[in-house]
Amino acid sequence: MVKDFDELQKIGKDNMDVTLRSFGAVTQSAQAIAVELADYSKKSFEQGTQAMERLFGSKSLDKAMEVQTDYAKTAYEGFVAQASKLGTLYADLAKESYKPLEGYFARVAAAK
């Protein structure tokens, strides 16, 4: 009986350790994603503000169209780069949160 109880306690402790490591990985990745999004938002706002200032300072329609075209191109390229970076961060999030569970699932499968 005592052996079974000790074994049950060890399983419970192992489960808690795996869960906490997984949550820790999720927390770190979520913080990295939040920082990246905040930086991108700030940079995007600043670029938009600069483009508006140049647009209002344009003396001709041609110059205004050039400013608008440059801004649209820069904004699109920045968005695509950011989406790619976020995709990588989310993939890393999935890998890191699953990593602590790999060994646990292997032990459970071997025990059956």
Residue extents of the structural domains in the chain: 2-111
Cα 53 → chain centroid: 32
- Report residue 46's pLDDT band, with 50, 70 and 90 as the boundaries: very high
Section 53-66 average pLDDT: 93
Both tokens of 34, joined, read: 């939040």
For the full predicted model, state whether its pTM sits above 0.75. Answer: no
* Res 48 pLDDT > 70: yes
**């906490």: which residue's tokens?**
20
* pLDDT of the residue at 64: 93
- Which of 16, 10, 19, 28 has its CA nearest to residue 98? 19
